[in-house]
Amino acid sequence: MAAIDGTGTVRIWKTVNWQPAAVLQQLPPFAGTSDAEGRLAWSPDGKCLAAACGWTALKIWENDTWREVFDYSDKLNYGVTLVGWSSSGELRFDTFNDGKAWNPMGGRLRVVGAPARGQLYPSPDERWVALSKSEEIQVWDPWTRWRWPSLPRVLRGHSDIVLNVVWSPDSRRLVSGSQDGTAKIWDVASGQELLTFGGAERLSYRALAFSPDGHRLAMGRGNTVRILDARPRSAEAHP
């Protein structure tokens, strides 16, 4: 498991015994806005870990050896933000001027379009895109002119701004963290809210991540990270 703090330091734990495994090179510190907060993303095969922080730098390390295999920085133009890994194994990230993709097979870096500015969250199978908009999340089909079959699937339930959205590896569920102090798990096909965490304190879940097999969900807020069993229950599969 990996976590990044406000200083830009990335720490790794072994999930078999939860003992510290590594402390990786520090990135620029958190600069004060949600887009500049530290973000992490494991590759679909679990072989690489990407981290971005401070709007100016992004790094990728190789699992187990923790050798740095990619480094991108832009200290003049703020805008370096992590978007996520595609199903083909490319890492997508934004810069001030454009969106880029880096392929670990050969190390090719290419421009893929305009920057998403951290608001778009593509599903791992690239079939859907989630858009966080104020207190709600819209899910739409980027391959057709119309969102969803007719209208966008809108996920409502938060009472304040949605700060982060992550997809499960099978692209069937979404987890959203909001400034209202809650995190919610959604079934994408039905739009149903499956579970809600938090709410008693208005301390936001700003860091959310699934394990590559989708069995665990890490949720971080303040200086605490919770690890949850994320395997769907029979009640969720058949509401």
Mean pLDDT of all residues in 143-160: 71
* 31 contact partners, CB below 8 Å, separation of at least 6: 54, 55, 78
Same-domain check for residues 90 and 185: no
CA gap 185, 167 in Å, rounded? 10
Q: Which domain holds residue 151?
A: 119-239
111, 96 contact by CB (below 8 A): no
pLDDT digits (tens, 9 = 90+) for 45-69: 889 999 888 778 899 999 989 999 9
Mean pLDDT (the chain) is 81
Same-domain check for residues 62 and 141: no
pLDDT digits (tens, 9 = 90+) for 79-118: 788 878 887 788 888 888 788 889 998 899 988 776 665 4
pLDDT category of residue 147 using cuts at 50, 70 and 90: very low
CA gap 96, 76 in Å, rounded? 10
pLDDT category of residue 239 using cuts at 50, 70 and 90: very low
* H-helix or E-strand spanning residue 3: strand 2-4
Same-domain check for residues 128 and 106: no
Nearest CA to 103 out of 116, 115, 112, 113 is that of 112
Same-domain check for residues 16 and 61: yes
Domain end (from 69, 86, 117): 117
Same-domain check for residues 80 and 162: no
Domain end (from 117, 136, 159): 117
Same-domain check for residues 57 and 136: no
Neighbours of 191 (CB within 10 A): 15
Name the domain count of the chain: 2
CA gap 77, 159 in Å, rounded? 33
Token pair in block for residue 195: 């579970």
Same-domain check for residues 140 and 80: no
pLDDT category of residue 179 using cuts at 50, 70 and 90: confident
Same-domain check for residues 25 and 9: yes
pLDDT at 237: 41
Q: What's this model's pTM, rounded to 2 decimal places?
A: 0.62
Domain with residue 98: its CATH number is 2.130.10.10
Q: How far from 92 is each of 120, 140, 164, 170, CA to CA, in Å? A: 11, 19, 16, 18
Same-domain check for residues 134 and 223: yes
Same-domain check for residues 1 and 105: yes
Same-domain check for residues 113 and 145: no
CA gap 180, 94 in Å, rounded? 27
